[in-house]
Amino acid sequence: MKFKQTTLLLFLLAILSLNANAQKGWINLFNGKDLKDWNVKISKHEYKDNYANTFRVEDGLMKVSYDGYNTFDQQYGHIFYKKPFSAYLLKVTYRFVGEQAKGGEGWALRNSGAMLHCQNPATMLKDQDFPISIEGQILGGDGQHDRHTSNVCTPGTQIDFQGKLFTQHCLDSKSKTYAGDQWVTAEFLVLGDSVIKHIIDGEVVLEYTKPQIGGGNVSNYDPKVKVDGTPLRSGYISLQSESHPIEFKGVKLFDLAPYVKDKSKLDNVLARILKG
């Protein structure tokens, strides 16, 4: 009996240790206090100019607001985490609030995104609209139509979908519609230039492979940066300002780079963190 109890205790301690290690692997990209680890690039403004205090922290939330704008005027913005990553699980908790800014495009209603494998923001030109990147598109319901969230869009990039090169700009996920101001958590599993999965409520709602530079849907970029055909193995992460106010209460990342060379270790780590 004593042996069995000891064995059970050791087993439970091992499980707790695995869970603790999984928790330790998470990096809170947003600290809930300030934006010191982030850099802003807004179209028509210089790098690091947070025009009209678009991105701010209030009440422990990262808020994207337009109360300082007379009109939106296609001033698309992005806030970039300070360092790039190659393989990771990104978890973003968001909600749309309020009314769209005056002058915002119709398609930008309740529209934002988590940009993956972004170019270095320091290489973006002043009038560039979007970073060359893979966009995990975030959409909120309009109360009338189905609007899937966690779609993919491709500013200056291309992907393979179901084994074929996908050349259109956006591809819908199979998620349900999330209307109103409810909090939604979106996860993005990114493994270099091999596979990217979009996950909502524990379900993979979209999967594609081979992200690479190419195609259109990005303007006023430096052509030296956009070398078509280049595989996207790593890059920066950014969040969008596209004219509709949005709030983020959690932005965290589990760095998977130490595990990608060992599939069994990677599978074990993913099993733990996705369940958590």
- Tell me the pLDDT band of 10, cut-offs 50, 70 and 90: very low
The token pair that represents 58 in the structure block: 């209030």
Q: What is the pLDDT of residue 221?
A: 98
Percentage above 70 pLDDT, the chain: 91
Q: For 11-15, 138-142, 171-175, which range has the lowest pLDDT when averaged over its residues?
A: 11-15
Contact present, 150 and 186 (Cβ < 8 Å): yes
Tell me the pLDDT of the chain averaged across its residues: 92
Judge whether 15 lies within some domain: no
Judge whether 48 lies within some domain: yes
Q: What gap in Å lies between CA 176 and CA 164, rounded to an integer?
A: 25
**Does 164 score more than 80 pLDDT?**
yes
The CATH number covering residue 118 comes to: 2.60.120.560
Q: What is the pLDDT of residue 276?
A: 67
Judge whether 51 lies within some domain: yes
**Domain extent at residue 271:** 27-275
Q: Alpha carbon of 236 to those of 75, 113, 115, 143, 261: distances in Å?
A: 20, 14, 8, 33, 21
**Interhelix angle 2-24/263-275, nearest 10 degrees:** 90
- Tell me the pLDDT band of 206, cut-offs 50, 70 and 90: very high
Burial status of residue 10 (CB atoms within 10 A of its CB: 0-12, 13-18, 19 or more): exposed
Judge whether 237 lies within some domain: yes
DSSP 220: S
Judge whether 1 lies within some domain: no
Judge whether 10 lies within some domain: no
Q: What is the pLDDT of residue 112?
A: 98
Judge whether 20 lies within some domain: no
Contact present, 75 and 101 (Cβ < 8 Å): no
**Tens digit of each residue's pLDDT (9 = 90 or more) over 246-270:** 999 999 999 999 999 999 999 999 9
Q: What gap in Å lies between CA 22 and CA 32, rounded to an integer?
A: 21
Q: Which residue has the tokens 């779609």?
A: 151
* pTM of the predicted protein model: 0.90
**Tens digit of each residue's pLDDT (9 = 90 or more) over 27-44:** 999 999 999 999 999 999
| Average pLDDT score over residue span 49-70 | 98
Domains contained in the chain, number: 1
Q: What is the pLDDT of residue 25?
A: 85
Judge whether 151 lies within some domain: yes
Contact present, 151 and 172 (Cβ < 8 Å): yes
**Does 82 score more than 90 pLDDT?**
yes
The single-letter code of the amino acid at 207 is E
